[in-house]
């Protein structure tokens, strides 16, 4: 059974810089993928590119490389889900319009918005990009970001860590949600074995 444990993280200066760059890159990658989908005709695509196409073709994009590979794939997967939801709503809207069932307040659905320039987007570290010990989680920093951190901030790190106040059996993913400069909501998705009830 999958469960969620959440807490607020107050990051120190170097961790704030690292997390800030990761959340910024996630928003930029989302916009790159969204632009391709919105402007697919002018870009020369014969159809709207899907998740499978984008995750392969964008792997050399600077924002894709600024995140762990699985994190980048997850950003593009969330974009894909947003577009699927849009198409479902659009189809429903057009059907109701054709049948004359639309209400005055029902507007036409819009395709997913771009993330605002300079904004920070939530991002996830999946199981293969983390290592768990008894009292902390270790997160890998992608090579492209490591180079940037070293050149601009003189931060020479291969990993960053967050402490744990409890133990978990199997952590499946960790999501970081930006609150402000040094505060993040952290959601740990973990697997817990369900023990059968003892028979009386």
Residue 199 included in any domain? no
CA distance 190 to 22: 22
Containing domain of residue 55, as a range?
A: 2-191
pTM of the model: 0.91
Residue 198 included in any domain? no
The total of structural domains in the chain comes to 1
Residue 122 included in any domain? yes
Residue 103 included in any domain? yes
CA distance 39 to 36: 5
The tens digit of pLDDT for each residue in 96-151 reads: 887 888 887 778 899 999 999 888 999 999 999 999 987 899 999 999 999 999 99
CA distance 54 to 76: 7
Residue 130 included in any domain? yes
Residue 200 included in any domain? no
b/e burial code for range 138-168 (CB count within 10 A of at least 16 → b): ebebbeebbebbeeeeebeeeebebebeeeb
């Amino acid at each position: 059974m999958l469960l969620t444990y959440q807490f607020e993280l107050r990051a120190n200066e170097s961790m704030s810089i690292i997390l800030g760059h990761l959340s910024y890159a996630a928003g930029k990658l989302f916009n790159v993928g969204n632009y391709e989908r919105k402007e697919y005709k002018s870009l020369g695509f014969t159809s709207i590119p899907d998740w499978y196409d984008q995750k392969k073709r964008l792997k050399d994009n600077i924002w894709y490389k600024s995140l762990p590979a699985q994190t980048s794939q997850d950003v593009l997967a969330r974009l894909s889900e947003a577009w699927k939801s849009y198409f479902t709503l659009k189809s429903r809207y057009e059907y109701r319009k054709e049948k004359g069932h639309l209400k005055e307040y029902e507007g036409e659905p819009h395709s997913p918005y771009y993330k605002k320039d300079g904004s920070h987007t939530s991002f996830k570290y999946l199981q293969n990009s983390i290592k768990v010990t008894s009292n902390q989680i270790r997160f890998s920093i992608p090579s492209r970001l490591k180079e940037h951190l070293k050149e601009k901030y003189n931060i020479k790190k291969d990993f960053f860590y967050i402490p744990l106040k409890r133990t978990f059996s199997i952590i499946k993913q960790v999501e970081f949600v930006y609150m402000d400069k040094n505060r993040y909501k952290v959601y740990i998705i973990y697997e817990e074995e369900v023990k059968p009830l003892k028979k009386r």
